[in-house]
Amino acid sequence: MKFKISWPAGIILAIAAFVIFILSFVYKAVFVPKYSHKLVSEDYYKDGMNYQKETIDKLNNAVELKQNITYKKVTEGLLFKFPSEFEASQITGTISFQRLSNKKIDFQYPLELETLEYLILDNKLVEGRWNVRIDWSVNNKSYLFKEKIMY
């Protein structure tokens, strides 16, 4: 027995299959928690309003330094070296690591330096791309170091 479909029925079946296909993607994107689509920042608009003051001015201050913060991977983890033109005890601020793929492993530490080097231990870092932000100040002048690091 041959199964024969007329061309109007074939077009209707093709359109219905396409609609079902698209709706399955919409369902996955909206309702399945595995495909989360949260914003990186909860205060997105407030962050945008303060961008000039908070970020650009601090980055410009950092560019004016003789030597900016440098980093290198060592066996113990990731070692950051601050400019030698400052004393370690005068440097205050925070260092934060952000992983875009997983918000749960983001972390932030206050800067409390005894030397001009700061070590992030290997057990805190997972392989992959990290957004590093060091917001620091010396003598009431603020600086910012932002880097995308592959660890």
CATH number, domain of 130, equals 2.60.40.10
Domains identified in the chain, total number: 2
Q: Are 144 and 104 part of one and the same domain?
A: yes
Give the separation between CA 127 and CA 111, rounded to whole angstroms: 23
Q: Are 57 and 24 part of one and the same domain?
A: no
Q: What is the pTM of this model?
A: 0.66
Residue 90 belongs to what domain range? 44-150
Q: Are 91 and 30 part of one and the same domain?
A: no
Give the separation between CA 42 and CA 38, rounded to whole angstroms: 9
**Given this model, what pLDDT does residue 54 score?**
72
Q: Are 59 and 131 part of one and the same domain?
A: yes
Q: Are 57 and 32 part of one and the same domain?
A: no
**Given this model, what pLDDT does residue 1 score?**
65
Q: Are 23 and 55 part of one and the same domain?
A: no
User: Residues 63, 68, 57, 87: is their CA dihedral positive or negative?
Assistant: negative
Q: Are 67 and 122 part of one and the same domain?
A: yes
Q: Are 30 and 78 part of one and the same domain?
A: no
Give the separation between CA 133 and CA 38, rounded to whole angstroms: 20
- Dmax (CA) for the chain in angstroms is 90
Q: Are 62 and 93 part of one and the same domain?
A: yes
Q: Are 68 and 140 part of one and the same domain?
A: yes
Instruction: Per-residue pLDDT tens, the chain, 151 aa: give them.
Output: 677 888 999 999 999 999 999 999 999 888 887 766 665 666 777 777 777 767 888 888 888 888 889 999 999 999 999 988 888 888 999 999 998 877 888 899 998 888 999 999 988 888 889 999 999 999 888 889 999 998 8
